[in-house]
Amino acid sequence: MHAALPLGLGPEALRRRLEDLRPRLLVAADAYFYRGQPVRVREVVEAAVQGLDLKVLWHVRGSHEFLERLYEARPAEPEPVPAAHPLFLLPTSGSTGKPKGVVHGHGGYMVGVAWALRHVFDLKPGEVFHTTADLFWIVGHSFGLYAPLLLGGTSLLVEDRPDHPSPGAFYERLAHLGVDVLLTSPAVLRTLRRHGEARPTGLRLAASVGEVLSPEIWRWTREHLAWPVDNWWQTELGAPALATPPALPAKPGHVGLPLPGVEAKVVDEEGRPLPPGAKGHLVLCATGPAHMVDLQGGRSPWRGGLYWTGDLAEMDEEGYFRILGRTEEVIKVGEARIGPAEVEAVLLTHPQVAEAAAVGVPGEAGEEIAVFVVPQAREFPEELKPLLAEKLQAHVLRHLGPVPPPKVFFRERLPRTRSGKVLRRLLKAELLGLDPGDTSGLEEDYGAGKAL
| H or E segment and range at residue 451 | none
| Residue 417: predicted pLDDT | 81
Using DSSP, state whether 447 is helix, strand or coil: coil
| H or E segment and range at residue 352 | none
Q: Give CA 260 to chain center in angstroms.
A: 23
The alpha helices in 26-178, defined as continuous H runs, are 42-49, 65-72, 107-119, 138-140, 147-151, 167-176
Exposure letters 224-251 (e unless 16+ CB within 10 A, then b) = bbbebbbbbbbbbbbbbbbbbbeeeebb
Give residue 121's identity as a one-letter amino acid code: F
| Residue 163: predicted pLDDT | 86
Same domain, 222 and 346: no
The pTM (predicted TM-score) of the whole model is 0.88
Give the model confidence (pLDDT) of 275-312 as tens digits: 999 999 999 999 999 999 999 877 899 999 999 999 99
pLDDT over threshold 60, residue 72: yes
Same domain, 62 and 121: no
Mean pLDDT of the chain: 91
Among residues 297, 324, 351, which one ends one of the domains? 324
Using DSSP, state whether 160 is helix, strand or coil: coil
DSSP bridge partners of 417: 442
CA neighbor of 137 nearest in space, from 197, 100, 95, 91: 91
Residues 283, 285, 288, 291, CA torsion sign: positive
Number of domains in the chain: 3
Pairs from 35-41 (Cβ < 8 Å, separation ≥ 24): 35/160, 35/161, 35/164, 35/165, 36/160, 36/164, 36/165, 39/444, 41/7
Same domain, 43 and 90: no
Using DSSP, state whether 322 is helix, strand or coil: strand
More confident residue, 416 or 47: 47
Q: What range defines the domain where residue 15 resides?
A: 2-72
Give the least confident one: 17-31, 93-107, 121-135, 150-164.
93-107
User: How many Å apart are CA 330 and CA 340, to the nearest integer?
Assistant: 6
Rounded mean pLDDT, 224-245: 97
User: How many Å apart are CA 233 and CA 296, to the nearest integer?
Assistant: 19
Give the least confident one: 17-21, 149-153, 203-207.
17-21
**SS in 3 state form for 179-199?**
CCEEEECHHHHHHHHHHCCCC
DSSP string over 239-261: S-SEE--TTSPP-TT--BEEPTT
Rounded mean pLDDT, 60-86: 92
Same domain, 198 and 265: yes
**314: CATH:** 3.40.50.12780
Give the model confidence (pLDDT) of 210-222 as tens digits: 999 999 999 999 9
Among residues 13, 42, 72, which one ends one of the domains? 72
Does the residue 364 lie in any domain?
A: yes
Same domain, 64 and 16: yes
Same domain, 200 and 228: yes
User: How many Å apart are CA 417 and CA 355, to the nearest integer?
Assistant: 15
Q: Specify whether the backbone of 210 is left (phi greater than 0), alpha (psi in -120 to 50) or beta.
A: left
Task: Give residues with Cβ within 8 angstroms of 86, minimum separation 6.
Answer: 1, 103, 104, 105, 293, 294
Rounded mean pLDDT, 256-274: 97
Percent of the chain whose pLDDT exceeds 70: 96
Does the residue 426 lie in any domain?
A: no
Using DSSP, state whether 38 is helix, strand or coil: strand
Predicted confidence band at 96 (pLDDT cuts at 50, 70, 90)?
Answer: low
**343: CATH:** 3.30.300.30
| Residue 452: predicted pLDDT | 33
In Å, the largest CA–CA distance within the chain is 69
Give 165's Cβ-side CA count (13 Å radius).
2
User: How many Å apart are CA 294 and CA 86, to the nearest integer?
Assistant: 8
| Residue 437: predicted pLDDT | 78
pLDDT over threshold 50, residue 369: yes
Does the residue 430 lie in any domain?
A: no
